[in-house]
Amino acid sequence: MSETVKEIELKNIRPSRLNPRLEINIERLNELAASIREVGLLEPIIVRPTNGEYEVVVGERRYRASQQAGLEKVPAIIRDYSDDQVVQLNLIENVHREDLNAIEKGKVCKYLLENCPNKYPTQSAIAQKIGVTHNAVSLWMKSIEVVPQEAQKYVAPSTISGQVPEGKIDYLTAVKIGRAVEEPEKKAEVIRTLAEKRLPVKERAQVIKKMMQEPEKPIEEVIEEVEKAPVEMHFTADDKKPLLAGTKTQTSRTGLPDPKLKAGALVHATVLEPHIAELRIASIERKKLRYFDEEDAKREGGYSLEEFKRKWKKMHGEWNENQLVYVIHFEKVK
């Protein structure tokens, strides 16, 4: 492959027509442009010659930031690439940097399948080439099938941290909505609304389930119903009898309680069947297991402290006296 490095005038460079990116983060672009004004473009972009000009192959964000910074020329590596090589390079670069969302990756895979069938005959072939699982490619392809065009801009990149930017929704949730809701306009509305609302994961799942059961209902009405619905607290089968008798008046949990759990809140106690009892939350406190006493054990369901320790070990594996737990105090309403 022939290769040259030279300074090229920006007016002679064009953005890639094969770049899969749907949108560019303006804030990050502004930061990069400010850096380029200060010290120049340190890393060359990669371009290919086309029709007497040059087309960006790798480094589109650097190219746009250089324009914004007011540069006249940029360092560039010139290489001869075919269209399918350009697409593959863009996909590999962004898959491993996690800059693209599933929709954008799916569109690249679709392009490879339709335009380069000899080199990429199947989804498995694409997966092998770019170093991801076949399941990942399948999900990307599915996302462009079930997520409407007008809702695709709300799908966030899938990062290792799992963080979803404000105003976005993770692609797995978008796919779930796409599969659960049949009408395209309703799909787009649900995706947009949930991206803007940023509901807790559990409530979001309940909204999707309700939309599947009652597709004619307005999304805002469904969200309001879910937000107003009582919280469910799950208990073991051993807890059922003392819960119904009203002798179990507290429960200790290692995980962070639902944000809706506040003093005065009504919750539904569930074991195997839903809503075996209604409870009113009295208070929530944090304390180490070392400070549990006989009264705590009694409120946990009529246990002695030793009996409660044995139950705790059965459920959690060990009794670590330094472990902080959430102790939720309540009373049975009915």
**Band of residue 22 on the pLDDT scale cut at 50, 70, 90:** low
Which residues fall within 8 angstroms of residue 212, CB to CB, at 6 or more apart?
Answer: 180, 181
> Do 161 and 256 sit in the same domain of this protein?
no
CATH number, residue 325: 3.10.400.10
How many structural domains is the chain composed of?
A: 3
pLDDT of residue 1: 52
**What's the domain range around 35?**
3-133
| Residue that is last in its domain, among 72, 99, 133 | 133
> Do 169 and 52 sit in the same domain of this protein?
no
User: Comparing C-alpha atoms, which of 93, 100, 79 is closest to residue 8?
Assistant: 79
| Mean pLDDT of the 282-308 span | 93
| Residue that is last in its domain, among 177, 196, 228 | 228
CATH number, residue 16: 3.90.1530.30
Asked if the model's pLDDT at residue 265 lies above 90, the reply is no
Residue 286 lies in a domain: yes
The C-alpha atoms of residue 208 and residue 181 are separated, in whole angstroms, by 8
> Do 300 and 326 sit in the same domain of this protein?
yes
> Do 129 and 9 sit in the same domain of this protein?
yes
Residue 139 lies in a domain: no
> Do 24 and 105 sit in the same domain of this protein?
yes
Residue 194 lies in a domain: yes
> Do 47 and 103 sit in the same domain of this protein?
yes
**Band of residue 69 on the pLDDT scale cut at 50, 70, 90:** very high
Q: Are 260 and 333 in contact (CB under 8 A)?
A: no
Mean residue pLDDT of the chain comes to 86
Sheet (strand 73-79) strand order: 3-9, 73-79, 45-50, 53-58, 13-14
Residue 294 lies in a domain: yes
Structure tokens at 332: 């049975």
> Do 152 and 120 sit in the same domain of this protein?
no
Structure tokens at 324: 């902080």
| Residue that is last in its domain, among 228, 243, 258 | 228
Cα four-point dihedral sign 294, 298, 302, 303? negative
> Do 199 and 244 sit in the same domain of this protein?
no
pLDDT of residue 130: 79
The C-alpha atoms of residue 254 and residue 259 are separated, in whole angstroms, by 15
Using CB atoms within 10 A of its CB, is residue 114 exposed (0-12), middle (13-18) or buried (19+)? exposed
> Do 290 and 216 sit in the same domain of this protein?
no
Name the amino acid, one letter, at 239: D
pLDDT digits (tens, 9 = 90+) for 102-141: 888 888 888 888 888 888 899 999 888 878 888 889 988 9
> Do 29 and 102 sit in the same domain of this protein?
yes
Cα four-point dihedral sign 183, 185, 189, 195? positive
Asked if the model's pLDDT at residue 159 lies above 80, the reply is no
> Do 62 and 12 sit in the same domain of this protein?
yes
Asked if the model's pLDDT at residue 222 lies above 70, the reply is yes
The C-alpha atoms of residue 239 and residue 277 are separated, in whole angstroms, by 11
The 3-state DSSP class for residue 155 equals: strand
Asked if the model's pLDDT at residue 3 lies above 80, the reply is no
**Band of residue 303 on the pLDDT scale cut at 50, 70, 90:** very high
> Do 189 and 237 sit in the same domain of this protein?
no
The C-alpha atoms of residue 92 and residue 109 are separated, in whole angstroms, by 11
